[in-house]
Amino acid sequence: MVSIRLAVDSDNSQLLNLEKMCPQGTNLVLSFDRSPDFFSRSRVYKDSRLYVAEEDRKIVGTVGATAKEFNISGEAVKAVYIYDLRVNPSCRGKGIGTRLVQHAMTEQNEADLAYGVIVNDNYPSVGLFRKLGFQGIRDFTLFNIPVFKRRDCATLNARPSISEDVPQIVDLLNSYYGNHDFFAKLTEDDFMERTGKLPGYGLVNLQVVEIEDKIEACAGLWDYSKIFSITAVHVSAKLALLRYLLKFINVFKNTMQLPSVGKPFRILYIRDLAFGKPEIATELIKHCLCLAYSYNCNFLTFALDPAESIIPAVSKHNPIRTLYRIYTKSLNDKILHNPRITYIDPMDL
* Binding-site member from 5, 46, 58, 131 for ligand COA (CB under 6 A): 131
| Binding of ligand COA by 133 (CB under 6 A) | no
- Alpha-carbon distances, residue 78 vs 69, 114, 178, 189, 299 (angstroms): 5, 9, 17, 20, 34
Q: Is 98 in the site for ligand COA (CB under 6 A)?
A: yes
**Which of 14, 62, 125, 205 is in the footprint of ligand COA by CB under 6 A?**
125
Nearer to ligand COA, 96 or 326 (CB): 96
Q: For the stretch 65-92, what's the b/e string if a residue is b when 16 or more beta carbons lie within 10 angstroms of its beta carbon?
A: bbbbebbbeeeebbbbbbbbbbbbeebe
* Least separation in angstroms between CB 93 and ligand COA: 5
- Residues in 57-86 at the binding interface with ligand COA, rule: CB under 6 A: 85-86
Would you call 129 helix, strand, or coil by DSSP?
helix
In terms of DSSP H, where are the helices of the chain?
Answer: 12-20, 40-44, 96-107, 123-131, 166-177, 188-197, 237-252, 278-294, 311-315
Stretch that binds ligand COA, among 125-133, 145-153, 279-287, 290-298 (CB under 6 A): 125-133
User: Among 13, 46, 47, 127, which residue sits at the site for ligand COA (rule: CB under 6 A)?
Assistant: 127
Identified binder of ligand COA from the candidate list 118, 232, 297, 326, rule CB under 6 A: 118
Q: Which residue is nearest to ligand COA (CB)?
A: 97
Of the residues 4, 22, 268, 344, which one makes contact with ligand COA according to CB under 6 A = 22
DSSP class of residue 297 equals -
Q: Is 248 in the site for ligand COA (CB under 6 A)?
A: no
Centroid of chain to Cα 62: 19
Residue 285 Cβ vs ligand COA, minimum distance, rounded to whole Å? 28
First to last CA, the chain: 32
By CB under 6 A, tell whether 94 contacts ligand COA.
yes
> What separation in angstroms does the CA of 128 have from each of 92, 117, 137?
11, 13, 16
SS3 assignment, position 257:
coil
**Site residues, ligand COA (CB under 6 A):** 22, 24, 85-87, 92-98, 118, 122-125, 127-128, 131
